[in-house]
Structure 1
Amino acid sequence: MPAPVSIVIPTLNAEGELPATLEHLMEGLAAGLIRGLVISDGGSTDATRAIAEASGAEWISGTPSRGGQLQRGCAVAQGEWLLVLHADTHLEPGWAAAVAQHLESGEGRPACFHLRFRARGPMPAWVSGWANLRTRLFALPYGDQGLLIRRDIYETAGGYPDQPLMEDVALARRLNGVTLLPSAALTSAARYQRAGWLRRGARNMWTLMRYFLGAKPERLARSYSK
């Protein structure tokens, strides 16, 4: 019986983060969980492709758009389950056991990880705490929490839309609930550290509100990246 999980990671000039992200996936190989790894690139000009191919990943490339990249990556993945991760997300030790337990539970619901930042202090704790509360209350995780989803549920929900931002929210809103796994995804704090935790957090909430009010993802992406 083949391993159940295909991992899909979108990249764009991710040479600085990707090696550590891949290293944290090794326990999933040892546990017999990982069937394959797909790196869906948006036109990297650094060493991202060399890193991906050295790891044995399947490499696909296309127009830069995180939603489109994820759409293409999930389309070629072979596993019964998909585990979608960002290139700067490190799964904490023990994640494979948490995923295996979820798969064995038979409930089949989509799941995500608790969010933590690779930074210390009250502000990282506050921002990640809000993200985890939002997930519990509204079943609305962001992509930096990862998404573990059965392929048939993913396809029934319509998959990721080809858009540069809020592709994670668009898919989550079409799912019938998301389970929080008893394990954490440790994500980069670089955007928050550059912009300031309060400013970046407020901008993220404002971006989400604008999206719910009908703003186009392309317009939101231009302001989000500043």
Structure 2
Amino acid sequence: MPRVSIVVPVLNEAAGIVAHLAALQPLRRRGHEVIVADGGSADGTAALAAGLSDAVVRAPRGRAAQMNAGAALARGEVLLFLHADTRLPEEADRLVLDGLAAGGRAWGRFDVSIDGRHPWLKAIAWCMNRRSRWTGIATGDQALFVRREAFEASGGFPDIPLMEDIAYSRILKSFGPPLCLAARVATSGRRWEKRGVLRTVLLMWRLRLAYFCGADPAHLARAYGYEPRQS
């Protein structure tokens, strides 16, 4: 039985999926598993992933639905949810398993660094990490991980088109505070640089504030530039 199941939600990631999954092969050789959850890619992502993962599952589009579908196939003691543009640190498996065991925690996340040229990205990552430690809320960029029994007891990710990571963190806090690992995952700064760093930061602050005030996640997804699937 694998000890850690890494679930990777993807949608049209053909340009980078081979390199992303190649970086996870040492973990597979150490007995862990990689499950790719494809949300209907039209660029051959699923076919490229097949030879570099233990399973590829088709799921309705949307990270929450895709991650839940991948988790349904997972056999590991711990489920780790990894975005396709995020890289794990060295010995991530040991850090997760030892950290959860030592602290008796049910879930956790890594600190994050953001790859990119803009000088503000380091400051944004620092703020993300500090905010997460203060609030106990993890973002998807931080590679959230959770014990299987806690995932099953919690019901998995709420199937909403945006803020599923924040919503799920709030649920998991009922199982105790997160394990906040200082080791850093590295995530791409492409969405900040594409839209403009300051503009993206202000947009995300506005959307999070609206979500905490009760706004409909589907409306927020459209404001973010993402058209939710029709239910």
Q: Provide TM-score, normalisation by structure 2.
A: 0.90
- Calculate percent identity across the aligned residue pairs: 35
| Structure 1 counterpart of 2:190 | 190
Consecutive aligned runs of 4 or more in structure 1 exceeding 3 Å deviation:
none
Q: Which residue is 1:78 aligned to? A: 75
Mapped partners of 1:95, 1:38: distance in 2: 16
Q: Which residue of 1 aligns with 2:24?
A: 25
Rate the CA distance shift 1:72–1:84 in 2: closer, same or farther, 3 A: same
**Cα deviation 1:93-124 (Å, max 9, x = unaligned):** 23233223224426133111111111245301
Which amino acid letter does the alignment assign opposite residue 3 of structure 2? P
The aligned counterpart of 1:8 is 7
Residue pairs, 1:55-204, within 5 angstroms: 55-105=52-102, 107-176=104-173, 177-204=177-204
Residues 99/31 of structure 1: CA separation in 2 closer, same or farther (3 Å cut):
farther
CA distance in 2 between counterparts of 1:101 and 1:133 reads: 23
Structure 1 pair 127/171, CA: closer, same or farther in 2 (3 Å)? same
Query: Is 2:99–2:179's contact at 8 Å kept on the other side of the alignment?
Result: no
Cα separation, 1, equivalents of 2:46 and 2:118: 35
Amino acid at match of 1:155: E
Aligned to 1:54: 51
Report deviation, 1:210: 0.8
Please tell me the root mean square deviation across aligned C-alpha atoms, in Å. Answer: 1.7
Aligned AA (1:119)? G
- Number of positions where the alignment pairs a residue of Structure 1 with one of Structure 2: 223
Verify the 8 A CA contact 1:13 1:48 in the aligned structure 2.
Answer: yes
Change (3 A) 1:29 1:63: closer
SS in 2 for 1:191: helix
Output the CA distance in 2 between the equivalents of 1:56 and 1:74: 14
- 1:44 is paired with a residue of what secondary structure? coil
Measured in 2, the distance between the counterparts of 1:153 and 1:110 equals 8
Cα displacement string for residues 75-108 of structure 1 (whole angstroms, at most 9, x for unaligned residues)? 2211121011111111122323322322442613
Residues in 2 aligned to 1:202 and 1:20: alpha-carbon distance in whole angstroms? 31
